[in-house]
Amino acid sequence: MSFTTEPNIAAPDEFYEALIDAHRDLSIEQSHELNAKIVLLLANQVGELDVLKAVLSAARSNTLA
Amino acid sequence: MKSIDLPPEATGTEIQAMAFAYERSADQAAPAPVRHRVVVVGAGPVGLSLAIDLAQRGQKVLLLDNDNRLSSGSRAICFAKRTLEIWDRLGIGERCVNKGVSWNVGRVFLGDQQVYQFDLLPEAGHARPAFVNLQQYYAEAYLLERASALPNIEIRWKNAVAALRTVDDSEGGGVWLGVDTPDGRYELIADHVAACDGGRSTVRSLMGLQSKGRSFKDRFLIADVKMAVDFPAERWFWFDPPFHRNQSVLLHRQPDGVWRIDFQLGWDADPEEEKKLERITPRVNAMTRQALGHEVPFELEWASVYTFVCQRMDHFRHGRVLFAGDSAHGVSPFGARGANSGVQDAENLAWKLDLVLKGRAGDALLDTYATEREYAADENLLNSTRATDFITPKSEISRLFRNSVLELASEYAFARRIVNSGRLSVPATLFHSSLNTPDRDSFQSPVVPGASACDAPLKLAGADTWLMQHLGQGFDLLVYGESLPAAVSACPVNKLLVVPPDARPRPQAGAVVLHDHSGAFAQRYDATPGSVWLLRPDQHVCARWRSVSAADIAAALDRACARAADPALTKD
């Protein structure tokens, strides 16, 4: 199962700003929690298990590279 | 054997105090080891269920138990719908339901807030509830009473299997057993041995075999306390409650005003200390203060500190020895998949061993006991392991995700589906069993070949009844329509004709006629007039058709008995 890694966010700068903004004034623990909740909410939005597994695997490979 | 009659109102204390006399058997004085067709080792819920099932089918069973008492302490308390249906067939289902506490609803709390509620039996129209809670000793007592009334079962108490070896086929085959008794050791030979002797199976170790898997570094305290409180008959599970910070707590109601409280303690807890009343009292008081606003007096019935492993044997069959229940597989208690899956092992094995002993099925049918129940064990292990990982996170990041799921769950429906406080026991659907006849026709129903039959409310001669009550000990043909097709009429198995809602039920030679007055059967099975289901003796569907020929049924029966390759075998 493939998922898109080509640009798919119309306004990347705005997204990035919003992401960083969401973490504003949070402790590192709170930020970790926020990230976990973002992952869970986005995972539900995606829904398809094959896609989710491919994303998890891509993120892990990139981290270990 | 002397029959054992329980007083109708026998209390838990009385039942746990019962001791059964060791009696010297004639085998002990025999000049040569006496041969028995079936020896069941272990008179727990699995061994007793198996022995009763085999005896009901006409087999002689020798049941050996190393002790002479029933379960001490409540132990397994949640008996699932499927177990009750099996026990209905074995004659004790009604008794368990009458004594037990029926429940369908579970609630999950994070801190002091409810985040999730589930109903395990959301639709009406089933004879049995999703679960009854019943102390294991009651279930064992009812099974034992039933077993003792069957002349085909001989139970030998204080008979501990202490040696075992395979008998060569040139000497008649089977399994030689050395059995220790208060009068010393004697020998016997079994054509087949069913090892139902629990997680620390002696039979398994005597054969040099292992059950392998994952152990979990966590300890749990079970406190079964008697107290007069008015919690509902529901399963309550707390993550991180204010009265027991950073751990989980499970609350269950049992008969006799007993409450099962299961406290997660962490790996560093001292198992001996934690079992003491003075350590348990403040824990229980903290819980009742939280849940009721005040403390209530209670009596400690039973306490146990446990750890668990999720494991199984690689193979449940080793020649003439078949492993069933905890000897074959072990799971965490979250999900009630231990005793329940063991009873399903027993029912899977009973009819197969019976047909093999009667020469009506090939030895290959016993291989399918192993493959089907190994598959079911894997499903149970997967569910159990996943629940355990959620309940006891193994790393900081795992705990972070767990807590995040719980916090999201109070606000968002999707996260409630991820919350896992134990996925509770449902029978495995044996999708890929070699005994199934693959579908030729299309059905929109979860009752596929490999699934256990689904109950439905029906009428028999105008009176309310249940589908499950009319399934027999052998194969059943279930026909939907106004009359039996000729292909079915000729088939010598138990036949049920389920008549559609708008049709008038009329007597039918050779069949029990049931009326699907509510349409629940048609809906659950996706039935159309002429549809036919073949059910195995363990009430699992093994074939279904929109229309059927006598040859279809014969082929499906052969397949379900693993005798397709051996035309010499006697047919039904």
Q: Identify the pLDDT of residue B66.
A: 97
Please report whether residue A33 resides in a domain: no
Question: Which residues does chain B have within 8 Å of residue A32's beta carbon, measured at their own beta carbons?
Answer: 400
The most distant pair of C-alpha atoms in chain A lies apart, rounded to whole Å, by: 38
**Mean pLDDT, residues B512-518 taken together:** 97
Q: Identify the pLDDT of residue B490.
A: 86
Report the SS3 class of residue B83: helix
Q: Alpha-carbon distance B145 to B291, whole Å?
A: 39
Please report whether residue A24 resides in a domain: no
CA distance A37 to chain B (A): 6
Question: Which stretches of chain B sit within 8 Å of chain A by CB?
Answer: 400-401, 403-405, 407-408, 412, 414-415, 418
Kindly compute the dihedral angle of the four CA atoms of residues B541, B543, B549, B554, in this order, to the nearest 10 degrees.
Answer: -90
Asked whether the beta carbons of residue A40 and residue B408 sit closer than 8 angstroms, the reply is yes
Q: Write down the mean pLDDT value for chain B.
A: 94
- pLDDT greater than 80 at residue B566: no
Asked whether the beta carbons of residue B400 and residue A36 sit closer than 8 angstroms, the reply is yes
Pick the CATH number of B457-560 from 3.40.50.360, 1.10.300.10, 3.40.30.120, 3.40.190.10: 3.40.30.120
Q: Identify the pLDDT of residue B335.
A: 86
- pLDDT greater than 80 at residue B239: yes
Write the CA distances from B170 to B175, B188, B364, integer angstroms. Answer: 13, 17, 21
Among B176-190, B216-230, B329-343, top mean pLDDT goes to: B176-190
Q: Give the confidence band of B174 by pLDDT, cuts at 50, 70, 90.
A: very high
CATH of domain B12-24+34-100+129-210+310-379: 3.50.50.60
**Mean pLDDT, residues B117-126 taken together:** 88
Q: pLDDT per residue over B436-445, tens digit each?
A: 999 999 999 9
Please report whether residue A5 resides in a domain: no
Write the CA distances from B166 to B61, B170, B341, integer angstroms. Answer: 19, 11, 28
Q: Quickly tell me which residue has 């959620």 as its tokens.
A: B390
Q: pTM above the 0.90 mark?
A: yes
CA distance B413 to chain A (A): 10
Q: How many CA atoms lie within 13 A of B563 on its CB side?
A: 20
Q: Give the confidence band of B472 by pLDDT, cuts at 50, 70, 90.
A: very high
Give the H or E element holding residue B264: strand B258-264
- pLDDT greater than 70 at residue B571: no
DSSP string, B417-470: HH--S-----PPP-TT-TTSPPPSS---SS--TTSBP---EEEETTEEEEGGGG
Report the SS3 class of residue B518: coil
Q: Alpha-carbon distance B528 to B548, whole Å?
A: 13
Q: Identify the pLDDT of residue B98.
A: 96
Please report whether residue A9 resides in a domain: no
Q: Identify the pLDDT of residue B567.
A: 53
Q: pLDDT per residue over A7-61, tens digit each?
A: 999 999 999 999 999 999 999 999 999 999 999 999 999 999 999 999 999 999 9
Beta bridge partners of B184: B181
**Mean pLDDT, residues B288-307 taken together:** 91
Question: Residue A61: which domain range?
Answer: 41-65
The residues of chain B that CATH labels 3.40.30.120 are 457-560
Q: Alpha-carbon distance B348 to B335, whole Å?
A: 21
The residues of chain B that CATH labels 3.50.50.60 are 12-24+34-100+129-210+310-379
CA distance A23 to chain B (A): 16
Please report whether residue A53 resides in a domain: yes
Q: Identify the pLDDT of residue B563.
A: 85
Asked whether the beta carbons of residue B408 and residue A32 sit closer than 8 angstroms, the reply is no
Question: Which residues does chain B have within 8 Å of residue A37's beta carbon, measured at their own beta carbons?
Answer: 404, 407-408
**Mean pLDDT, residues B474-484 taken together:** 96
CA distance B404 to chain A (A): 6
Q: Give the confidence band of B230 by pLDDT, cuts at 50, 70, 90.
A: confident
Question: Which stretches of chain A sit within 8 Å of chain B by CB?
Answer: 32-33, 36-37, 39-41, 44
**Mean pLDDT, residues B290-319 taken together:** 93
- pLDDT greater than 80 at residue B299: yes
Determine which of B397, B401, B417 to mutate to test the interface with A (most A C-beta atoms within 10 Å): B401
- pLDDT greater than 70 at residue B1: no
Q: Give the confidence band of B334 by pLDDT, cuts at 50, 70, 90.
A: confident
What does the angle CA B259 – CA B264 – CA B270 come to, to the nearest 5 degrees?
105
Asked whether the beta carbons of residue A36 and residue B418 sit closer than 8 angstroms, the reply is no
Q: Identify the pLDDT of residue A59.
A: 96
CA distance A33 to chain B (A): 7
ipTM: 0.96
Secondary-structure percent of chain A, ordered helix, strand, coil, rounded to 5: 70, 0, 30
Determine which of A34, A40, A41, A46 to mutate to test the interface with B (most B C-beta atoms within 10 Å): A40
Kindly compute the dihedral angle of the four CA atoms of residues B199, B83, B321, B173, in this order, to the nearest 10 degrees.
Answer: 150
Give the strand order in the sheet containing B101-103.
Answer: B78-80, B131-133, B101-103
**Mean pLDDT, residues B23-29 taken together:** 96
Dihedral sign for Cα atoms in the order B36, B41, B47, B48: positive
- pLDDT greater than 90 at residue B122: no
Asked whether the beta carbons of residue A41 and residue B408 sit closer than 8 angstroms, the reply is yes
DSSP B547: S
Question: Which residues does chain A have within 8 Å of residue B418's beta carbon, measured at their own beta carbons?
Answer: 40
Minimum CA–CA partner of B415 in chain A: A40
Question: Which residues does chain A have within 8 Å of residue B400's beta carbon, measured at their own beta carbons?
Answer: 32-33, 36
